Amino acid sequence: MPPYGWKGLPQDVVRSTLALLNDSSSSRLFERRWPDQCVRCAVVGNGGILRGSKQGRAIDSHHFVFRKDGFTKVPRGQRVRYIFIPSNERDYVMMSAAIEGLNVTSGHDKGDWPSRYFGFKPPYKHFKMLHPDFITYVTQRFLKSPLLKYSQLYMPCTGALMLLTALHMCDQVSAYGFITKNFADFSDHYYDAVMLPLLFYANHDMQMESWLWEVLHARKVMSLYKRTKVK
């Protein structure tokens, strides 16, 4: 389903990139230390509700932390994994260059050095890519917005896909920095220097996503971080 999938993409680009993910570990986001381990995951969005929340220690107490692009410091290290959500050729080209330690040779990011974001030639096992069929599944099953009829326009927010990925992989999930009912009390992003209102774009359905997070929280499927505005 557009905008995901392989339709219209150069087969040689897709094939050469996926060939780099040639280990059995590429089929899993992470390994459990023991079969019956209860894996606790924190999923961190960029919402302004996090600014001044002092939730850093609570977030770090989880076994795994999912973060999206936009955070203030690029995390690196042996425990870090970079998850790509493939929506066009650009994602495959960037991942390939990052794994091989090269600069991007074509497309929108031509000349860019992935090492700025991922470090120099990190192990290929540190890179993961969501399968387009999985993205279609969670979109059709959980993010079934009326906007789906405009498939060339609508796409779920990156944070929504990240959170639903964690909900399918982890035993306990806590969501931080996601839209809540009182979103107007906070800035758009936690790193905003001044108060900026949350913007709603035509290609996302954040109101539907907000409703879904509230439902999953109420049913104790996950824990959604909430707080009132500090005066």
- What pLDDT does 94 receive? 93
Return per-residue pLDDT of the chain as tens, 231 residues: 556 778 888 999 999 999 999 888 888 888 777 778 899 999 999 999 999 999 999 999 999 999 876 544 545 555 577 889 988 899 999 999 999 999 999 888 999 998 888 888 888 888 999 999 999 999 889 998 887 777 667 888 999 999 999 999 999 999 999 999 999 999 999 999 999 999 888 888 999 999 999 999 999 999 999 998 766
Domains (range + CATH), the chain:
11-205 (3.90.1480.20)
pLDDT for the residue numbered 151: 67
pLDDT on residue 35: 79
pLDDT of 72 reads 47
State residue 79's pLDDT score: 59
Query: Which amino acid is it at 58?
Result: A
Predicted pLDDT of residue 77 = 52
* Residue 142, pLDDT score: 93
Contact predicate 96/16, CB 8 Å: yes
pLDDT of residue 149: 73
Q: How many CA atoms lie within 13 A of 168 on its CB side?
A: 15
Sequence-separated (6 or more) residues with CB below 8 Å from residue 43:
65, 66, 159, 162, 163, 166, 173, 174, 175, 176, 178
